Amino acid sequence: MRTYLHAFAMCQSMFCAIPCPWKIWDEDARDKMLLALPLVGLEIGLLWAGLAWAAQELGLPDLIRGILLAAWPYAATGSIHLDGFMDVTDAVGSCRSLERRREILKDSHVGSFAVIGLCLTVLAQFAFFSAGEGDWRILIFLPAVSRCGSALAVTGLKSMSTSQYAAQEKPRSRLAVLGAVLASVMAAGWLFCGKYVLVLAGCLGGYGLALRKGYRSLEGMNGDIAGYALTKGELWGACIYGLMAGGIL
């Protein structure tokens, strides 16, 4: 049990900018960090939903509420997943050979495709969250769903040789555990938010499409692709949220 607690603290410190009072590194817990990723997502989601509730209670203008809700997932993670999104967008958008795409993926310079993708993503997320007041409770579950997708993808798919996950132990039994967690989060979203569970379904659909594109283009899985698909998945979730809040769905 202690190893799993260490894994959560390590996951919190690595993938979340919210301060973690427990600073620890346990090499034995390293391969279990992915199991804690949905819990970190739930923590981010609780604060995200709290921010949405506060914005509605205070009667903030739509544009101000929109920018607060759009910015939170990036601020809460220190933009670590957005960094992966930009790297993969550059690599995939280059349409070069596989070897060159992988070089671009690891290049620290920012290319035009990444800048364009970043601007469009941020503007779209802002627009969706400015569309109207929706059921803010669904935001509790949205980051947990996207991180379940990342944990499943990294565990189940072939890693690139250069990925930090390539040498880690990834028992297939963990796929069942993560699948059960995902099913539980989806069920909770439906139980508490009714039809707004479509936001979570949209997130999963967007995640799957982005994962397919990144994985096929780069012929392997790594943290950057996980961040790319997570960002796309949450954007799709925001899209459904905005359409429902605006009365279109």
pLDDT tens for residues 50-66? 999 999 999 999 999 99
pLDDT tens for residues 13-25? 899 998 887 788 8
Amino acid (one-letter) located at 203? C
Domain boundaries, the chain: 37-245
Distance CA 207, CA 210 (A): 5
pLDDT at 196: 98
Q: How far is CA 179 from CA 65, 67, 102, 185, 212, in A?
A: 33, 33, 30, 10, 18
229 contacts 205 by C-beta, under 8 angstroms? no
166 contacts 233 by C-beta, under 8 angstroms? no
State the pLDDT confidence band at 95, using cuts at 50, 70 and 90: confident
pLDDT tens for residues 180-227? 999 999 999 999 999 999 999 999 999 999 999 999 999 999 999 999
pLDDT tens for residues 169-192? 777 788 999 999 999 999 999 999
Provide the 8-state DSSP code for 158.
Answer: P
As beta bridge partners, residue 159 has: 221
Percentage of the chain surpassing pLDDT 70? 99
Residue 164 has pLDDT above 80, yes or no: no
Least confident of 70-79, 160-169, 235-244: 160-169
Distance CA 229, CA 211 (A): 5
Residue 165 has pLDDT above 80, yes or no: no
Which run of H or E residues covers position 107?
Answer: none
Residue 107 has pLDDT above 90, yes or no: no
Distance CA 224, CA 227 (A): 5
